[in-house]
Chains A and B, each alone.
Chain A
């Protein structure tokens, strides 16, 4: 009484085993990839090299990828587009945005008026989940999640971005060639 019944090998299977066809097949596969890596470098035919030379060659992210936040500025006057309406902070499910407004005195039609403008903008990228609800909420298309993906820093404090960082972008070393 056998526990497991395995079928006896057929004659062709025995022949295959005798001539070690599986070994030859395996060797052929590795050789195919080796030759593919030399001749078809960019995996056009599907057997070249898949590795990306990351710092030198940067990957193309998906078009709907959300990355580092940015505060857009008026391209002509270089003033911020933010009107300190606080809608983004309300929209944020993670509460990671702090909009700090301030009042400035301006003269409108000869009369002194007070206007609310942006003083400081705090964006905690360590808590951000890149849902881009803030980007949707922004009425002036000021806050935007760009496609930058290099957000790593040396400390937790580095994850908290202030207005200057949001406007200028963080400085990262860019490797070329």
Chain B
């Protein structure tokens, strides 16, 4: 009961200052929430860079940062201080205003999304917008605009190429990202992120069980949208120096860096919310029932953080395992695999929902319990949807593998196998020409 105290006391204090209840509820509390979320997310982002360095080091049998503070724990702060004091260099003939504002667009688009992410129930969400998921998709894609603007305004060939690649990448991945979420929405029957979590909670299941294909598609296109390895073409170090942020230095560069990690956190938070049950955890409602309301919120918050961190770890893990895709391979995956399979996934989810409803209303098998919070199904209904999901995943893969056999045209090995020598007299080897 101690945990209940401070927040209610603060609420009473705010009411006593003469503010109306509405002002307190719709203005003061959101401001406090925004302050806490921005601070904590900035901290999370800073320590995501630390974890990235540590995990990459561990995967390469190194130690990573060790000298600043115990276990190098103060390294992000030292890096931040260093970047703040560095020179802010602007290249000659750069488009100054766009060059100035591109980093802010990147950071803003990444941070605005946190306003609708349900970190927990009740007071742990800033705004429970009923089109939350749409807002997430809309705002997070603006982040790519920042990369394009930065690449364009830098007046540098490497930055321009990075921006170009980024725009091509966005075209091929944004569609798949949006489409992959629709399957889950059919079961949640709402676009509100809190509503999606609530639907999973009352159905006591994670939507990754219903939507394995959707989860994989969302994760892949999310990684591609964040420009992370193996899809880090816009900032490919080995090809484009540093890609779109070649000309950036000091604090502006670090804003891009922060935006990248914040966007990663956003994608892992959305993936957690939609597919991994958000803050929902078995038995978490018992805390609420036993009257420990604030404890329930805090435990839910921690559950959410753990789930999102696991997806962040997958990000790092993939980055330090896989090499970068070639440009044509990236387009290949986007257009020939992800978008068709996202469409097939939507059809299959529709079929699954239809089968469940048809069985229920024909009166033979009871599959639907109620429709109050999302589609709540009985064990039979869950089994049917799970089966269709898993079989659909492999069926989609087989089907696309059959359809896309020609996509190996881009494979150099096969190309080499099919090269015909033209107008060469038989029996004579090819002669190397002097160049």
| A interface residues (Cβ-Cβ under 8 A, vs B) | 1-6, 18, 23, 26-27, 29-31, 33-34, 36-38, 43, 47-51, 53
Contacts and interface: CB of A to CB of B under 8 A. Distances in A.
Contact of A50 (B55, B62, B322, B401): B62
Nearest to B420: A1
17 contacts: A1-B421, A2-B419, A4-B416, A4-B417, A18-B397, A23-B321, A27-B321, A33-B58, A34-B317, A36-B61, A37-B58, A48-B61, A49-B58, A50-B62, A51-B62, A53-B63, A53-B66
Nearest to A52: B63
Contact of B63 (A27, A47, A51): A51
A26 to B, nearest CB: 5
A82 to B, nearest CB: 42
- The residue in A2, A30, A36, A48 that gathers the most chain B C-beta atoms within 10 A of its C-beta is A30
Given A2-B417, A3-B416, A18-B397, A49 B61 contact: yes
Contact of A23 (B322, B398, B413, B419): B322
B418 interface: yes
B320 interface: yes
A30 B320 contact: yes
A5 B318 CA distance: 33
B61 A26 contact: no
Contacts, number: 62
Contacts of A3: 416-417, 419, 421
B415 to A, nearest CB: 10
Given A4-B416, A6-B413, A33 B317 contact: no
A31 B417 contact: no
Nearest to B55: A34
B60 interface: yes
B314 to A, nearest CB: 9
Most-contacted residue by chain B among A5, A18, A34, A51 (CB, 10 A): A34
B351 interface: no
B62 A30 contact: no
Contacts of B417: 2-6
Contact of A38 (B58, B317, B320, B321): B58
A173 to B, nearest CB: 15
A38 B61 CA distance: 10
Interface residues of B, number: 25
A33 B59 contact: yes
Contacts of A33: 58-61
Contact of A51 (B61, B413, B416, B418): B61
Given A33-B60, A49-B58, A50-B61, 18 more contacts: A1-B421, A3-B421, A18-B397, A26-B321, A26-B322, A27-B317, A27-B321, A30-B59, A30-B320, A34-B317, A36-B61, A37-B58, A37-B59, A37-B61, A47-B61, A48-B61, A49-B61, A51-B63
A9 B401 CA distance: 14
Interface of B: 55, 57-63, 66, 317-318, 320-322, 397-398, 401, 413-414, 416-421
B58 A31 contact: no
Nearest to A7: B417
B424 to A, nearest CB: 8
A26 B413 CA distance: 22
A5 B419 CA distance: 11
A31 B58 CA distance: 9
A19 to B, nearest CB: 9
Nearest to A37: B58
Contacts of A37: 57-59, 61
Contacts of B413: 6
Nearest to B318: A27
Contacts of B317: 27, 30-31, 34
B58 to A, nearest CB: 4
A90 to B, nearest CB: 47
Nearest to A20: B397
A43 B63 contact: no
A2 B417 CA distance: 6
A50 B64 CA distance: 11
A43 B61 contact: yes
Nearest to B430: A3
Nearest to A14: B401
A5 B417 CA distance: 6
Contacts of A51: 57, 61-63
A36 to B, nearest CB: 8
Contact of A49 (B62, B320, B322, B398): B62
B242 to A, nearest CB: 24
A3 B417 CA distance: 6
A37 B413 CA distance: 37
Nearest to A31: B317
